[in-house]
Amino acid sequence: MPATPTFAETAAEAWPPISGWGARARSAARAARIRLEALKQRRQTEPFVRCLYAHAVFPDTVPTFRAFLKAAKQEGEFVDTPTLRAIIADGRPSDGRFFHLSFDDGFASVYEAGGPVMEDERVPYIMFVATDLIDADPDTLAAYFAHMPAYQARVRTLDWDQAKAAATGIGEIGCHTRTHARLSKIGHDPARLTDEIAGAKAIIEGHIGQRCDSFAWPYGTASDIDEHGRAAIADAGFTSNFSAVRGAVRPGVTDVMDIPRHQLEFHWPLHELMVWARGFREA
């Protein structure tokens, strides 16, 4: 009999509590720094372009998620990926204030719990999916979560019907490889690179019936991708590529194939989400 995976259906089930004296002390110090920053920050009135990303919107985090979207909309307009790309490529300093919101990996909660909120609030979003995780069998999910120590339990992933439904609404489907591969580890393997990048693009386009031209590379730091991976992404026809490096987006300066993003997760307190939305720690 195949093992039946049990899935985390709340944020508390998905992410482990902070344990150990040292980790708790570091976490408390970080929380204090963020609290101090929140007290210092003012509402944003200058132009900015800022990309934000998360992984999940569990049902228990919906109230915070909705409160965050409402607060952020007071300071900037959420734009979809083609609009973001146009703002960056335009090259002139924009006098607008813009957010872009994405979700990595392809967890079902983003569509199920977060989708109705984003439809309500008219906030466009893009889900960067690792295609092998969509409609995934238990063994594939087990292999993925074995490499994801951040989670203490498996998180349910989308099925293709949900992904397609998201893309016919206010959502977009972007590419995050097939297997959540670390591209810097497979840069020497052209066949594997093609499968993970052009292969995943074809799978998404086959299921969704729309062009997929946005990519986010797994793990997202500069050391998780190399020149072979970057070339394969451009060769496959992607016209934007997102990192997970915190930073400001600067029209005419930011490379559309290396767009910085701020991570946030919606089980964090609202003031912490706003600290990142206002560009804390931007280079």
Taking the least distance from each CB to Zn ion, the nearer of 76 and 172 is 172
Closest separation between CB of residue 154 and Zn ion, Å?
A: 15
Beta carbons of 187 and 226 less than 8 angstroms apart: yes
Q: Shortest distance, CB of residue 216 to Zn ion, whole angstroms?
A: 7
Tell the smallest beta-carbon distance from residue 230 to Zn ion (Å): 17
Is residue 105 a contact point for Zn ion (CB under 5 A)?
yes
Residue nearest to Zn ion (CB): 104
Instruction: Name which of 105 and 213 has its Cβ closer to Zn ion.
Output: 105
Among the listed ranges 70-78, 105-113, 167-175, 197-205, the one in contact with Zn ion (CB under 5 A) is: 105-113
What sign results for the dihedral spanned by CA atoms 136, 142, 143, 149? positive
| Residue 172 sits in the site that holds Zn ion (CB under 5 A) | no
Burial of 37 per CB tally in 10 Å (0-12, 13-18, 19+) = middle
**Shortest Å distance, C-beta 184 to Zn ion:** 14
- Compare residues 104 and 213 and give the one whose CB is closer to Zn ion: 104
The rounded distance, in Å, linking the Cα atoms of 223 and 229 is 11
Q: Does 132 bind Zn ion (CB under 5 A)?
A: no
Within residues 200-219, the interface with Zn ion by CB under 5 A covers 218
> Do the beta carbons of residue 233 and residue 241 sit within 8 Å?
yes
Binding mask 65-104 for Zn ion (x = CB under 5 A): ---------------------------------------x
Of 156 and 278, the one with the shorter C-beta distance to Zn ion is 156
Q: For Zn ion, which is the closer residue by CB, 105 or 272? A: 105
- Judged by beta carbon, residue 87 or residue 244, the one nearer Zn ion is 244
Q: How far apart are CA 77 and CA 74, in angstroms?
A: 8
* Phi and psi at residue 269, to the nearest 5°: -65, 150
Contact between 283 and 119 (Cβ < 8 Å)? no
The footprint of Zn ion on residues 222-261 (CB under 5 A) is none
Least CB distance to Zn ion at residue 169 (A)? 22
Helix ranges (H only) for the chain are 11-14, 21-40, 62-73, 81-90, 108-109, 115-121, 138-146, 160-168, 190-194, 200-208, 227-235, 270-277
Distance between CA atoms of 105 and 215, rounded to whole angstroms? 11
Per-position DSSP letters for 204-262, written without gaps between them: HHHHH-S---EEE-TT-SGGG--HHHHHHHHHTT-SEEE--------TTTS-TTSB--E
Tell me the closest approach of the beta carbon of residue 217 to Zn ion, in angstroms: 9
* Closer residue to Zn ion in complex, CB, 199/218: 218
Count of positions on this chain that bind Zn ion (CB under 5 A): 3
Q: Which residues bind Zn ion (CB under 5 A)?
A: 104-105, 218
